[in-house]
Structures are given as structure tokens and as C-alpha cells.
Amino acid sequence: MLRKTLIIILHMLFWTLSYYFITRVFGVSTVEIIEEEINGLEEKVLITFDHRFTLATAITVGLCALVFYTNIFAFLKTYFQDKKTRSYLLKLGVTIFLAMGLSIILNKYVNYYDDPRKEVFLFPSFGLHMALFVFYTVISFAYAFTLEWFKNEKLRNQITQEKLKTELNFLKAQINPHFLFNTLNNLFSISQKHKIDELSTGISELSNLMRYMLYESNSSFVSLKKEVDYIESFIEIQKLRYDENDFIINFDKKGNLNQVAVAPMILLPFVENAFKHGFSMDQSSIINMMVDASDGNIRFKVVNKTFNNKGGSESASGIGLENVKRRLDLIYPKNHTLDISETADRFTVALNIKTDG
């Protein structure tokens, strides 16, 4: 709150000083030197300012401020998101044209109504007033791009910190992961030797999970195919816990998953949540999942029944829903939508990530 108040004060000070400087430097009407005889002959300089120029400057600076803030908080804000240069320049050009036109009308026909020159573009300091629009528009560019740079720099630092925090969560959850990974490989060989198929499947899929967590999750982005393979390994392990007749899992995959990149471990928390709350010992359970990589978007949807299993274990990856929401905001700002809805017996997650913007 204090920071916002300080910024407002600084902006008010900027416009006040600008107005004062323009009127003091360019608004001089006459300069007279008068002599006064007070304890000898003294000369004094008497400066008279043009009050109509002062009013004209107030009108022009006010309209310049309108263009200034419209450009920063409306036009450039939109441009930084969609990068549509032609649309931005058109909106800015129309706004400046209208503001200049209004300034000319107010100054020519209201403030300098008795000027003998009848031409529309001829009144005192016309060129200066038009130049002010160009000057303040350039200042708005510098101001907005500086703000955007600081915003991106802050975002980069947040992503770095969030990544370090996530990696720390992985390390805490893994308990000497390389040792466990090698041990799983040995157990897999033993289970195959003794032809224990379910154990072999479980160990194999768990090895895939650990391999992904160890070697892939440290990258900023991985192929969507790897993320989906990771989810399928997780599903196969979960299937070992439940009877196939009591727990039905449908996973529909569309598009070329190899051609799309995604942040690692960004989809799994939603699947974990579905398994955590979507299973009941007394009723049949079903989880429907869909991933679609097409048209420059990743669409991911999970729908499960809800049984309010509060006694379920925490997320195996150490990443909960709140954490993944935060990661989405940091990694895909303005480029994703996440809709989570819950009814009495159904929980739905719909995630869309724009990958071509």
C-alpha cells in the first residue's frame, strides 16, 4: 500500500514539475527592466507570463497524460501479451490523433478564440503543443518497457526459486534415489527370474517413475510424450492396488505428443488427486482422463468420482494442487487456463496450456 501511494505521489510530482517547467520557460510574455531609486539607482527585471499560454499548456499536458496512461496500462499491456504490432500501432495512432485534435479545438477556438489568424493550425506555440504529445508518448514507451523488464526479471527469479524449492521437495522424497533405483533394477531381475509377473510389472513401472524424476524432471521442459509415459507408469502401479473390476481407468490420447514440450511434473498432481479421492472400498470407481496436443494447445482433463477419502496418502511427488497452480502461473503466465469444479459426487479438472505463444 505504501509503495503504491509513493508511486502515485511521484507521478503527480512528475506532471506538476513538467507543467511548471513548460509554463516558466515557454510562457514568458514580456521581460522589462525597470529602474528604481532606493538608496541609489537599482535595476529590476519584471517578467510577465501569458495566462492564456498557461491555460493552453494545462489543456495539452492533461491530454498528453491521458495518452500516456492509456498507452501504458491499456495498449502496451495488451501488446505485451498478444504481440499484435499492427493492432497496437493503430490504436495508439487513433488515440494520439483524437487527443491532438481535441487539443487544437480547445486551444484554437476556446482559449485563443480572438487570434486574428483564421487558419486552424495557427495559434501561439502550436508546434510546441504538438511536440509535447510526441515527447510524452516516447516517455510512456520508456516507462512501460522498463516496468516490463523489471516484471520479467522478477518472474525469472521467482521461477528459479520455485524450481529450487521443487527440486528440494524431490530430494526430500527420494531418500538416496540412486541407491533405490539400482536396488529396483536388481529386484526386477529377481522377479523375472522367478516369473512373478505382477511384481515385475510393479518394479518396472516404479523404475520408470524414478528414472523420470531423476533424469528428466530437472529440465525446464520435456516432451509431452515423456510426461504422459510417466503418468501411465504411475497408473500401472496404482492398478496393482485395486481390483480391475472395481476401478476403471480410461486415458484417451490425441495429437502428436512427441512434438509438444511441457514443464515436467505439471500434469501428474491432478492424476494423483484423482486416485487419492476417487477410490472407495464399497463402490465401483472410475477415472476418465484425456490429453490432446493439437492447434498449439495442450488440453488435459481428469474426471473422477469423489468419496472424500481424507485418510489417503499425500502426493507421492510432493507436489500438491496449490503448488502446481503456482507453477502454472510462473511458467505459463497468461498462457493457460485451469478450471477445477466439484459437485456432490464428481471432481473435474480441465487444463489448457497455450504452447505456440
Closest CA to 342 of 294, 305, 291: 305
According to the model, what pLDDT value does residue 355 have?
85
Written as nine digits, the cell of 163 is 524450481
Please indicate, yes or no, if residue 10 is contained in any of the structural domains: yes
Closest CA to 23 of 109, 113, 147, 132: 132
According to the model, what pLDDT value does residue 40 have?
56
Residue 129 near residue 56 (C-beta atoms within 8 A): yes
Neighbours of 231 (CB within 10 A): 22
Please indicate, yes or no, if residue 202 is contained in any of the structural domains: no
Last-in-domain residue among 119, 154, 189 = 154
According to the model, what pLDDT value does residue 138 have?
93
Last-in-domain residue among 105, 121, 154 = 154
Written as nine digits, the cell of 147 is 516496468
First and final C-alpha spacing in the chain: 33
Q: How far apart are CA 71 and CA 196, in angstroms?
A: 69
- Which residue, chain included where needed, has cell 490420447? 253
Q: How many residues does the chain have?
A: 357
CATH of the domain at 267: 3.30.565.10
302 beta partners: 289, 349
Please indicate, yes or no, if residue 232 is contained in any of the structural domains: no
3-state secondary structure 287-322: EEEEEEEECCEEEEEEEEECCCCCCCCCCCCCCCHH
**Does residue 7 sit in the same domain as residue 150?**
yes
Domain of residue 97, residue span = 2-154
According to the model, what pLDDT value does residue 315 have?
44
Q: How far apart are CA 157 and CA 144, in angstroms?
A: 20
Phi-psi category of 175—alpha, beta or left, where left has phi over 0 and alpha has psi -120 to 50? left
Q: How far apart are CA 59 and CA 239, in angstroms?
A: 73
Number of domains in the chain: 2
Question: What is the residue-wise DSSP string for 38-86?
Answer: SSSEEEEEEEEE-HHHHHHHHHHHHHHHHHHHHIIIIIHHHHHHH--HH
Please indicate, yes or no, if residue 239 is contained in any of the structural domains: no
Please indicate, yes or no, if residue 6 is contained in any of the structural domains: yes
**Does residue 141 sit in the same domain as residue 20?**
yes
**Does residue 12 sit in the same domain as residue 141?**
yes
Q: How far apart are CA 216 and CA 210, in angstroms?
A: 10
Please indicate, yes or no, if residue 196 is contained in any of the structural domains: no
pLDDT along the chain (357 residues), means of 10: 86 91 76 59 63 84 93 90 88 92 81 62 71 92 91 83 69 52 62 67 69 66 90 80 74 92 88 82 83 92 77 45 84 90 88 84
Closest CA to 73 of 94, 58, 60, 91: 91
pTM of the complete model:
0.49
Written as nine digits, the cell of 17 is 514539475
Please indicate, yes or no, if residue 344 is contained in any of the structural domains: yes
According to the model, what pLDDT value does residue 277 have?
80
Give, for 104, the enclosing helix (H) or strand (E): helix 85-106
Give, for 35, the enclosing helix (H) or strand (E): strand 28-37
Last-in-domain residue among 137, 154, 171 = 154
According to the model, what pLDDT value does residue 251 have?
93
Q: How far apart are CA 179 and CA 182, in angstroms?
A: 5
**Does residue 124 sit in the same domain as residue 267?**
no
Please indicate, yes or no, if residue 297 is contained in any of the structural domains: yes
**Does residue 148 sit in the same domain as residue 262?**
no
According to the model, what pLDDT value does residue 188 have?
63
Residues 6+ apart with CB under 8 A from 7: none
Q: How far apart are CA 49 and CA 29, in angstroms?
A: 5
Closest CA to 278 of 229, 322, 342: 342
Residue 317 near residue 269 (C-beta atoms within 8 A): yes
**Does residue 281 sit in the same domain as residue 149?**
no
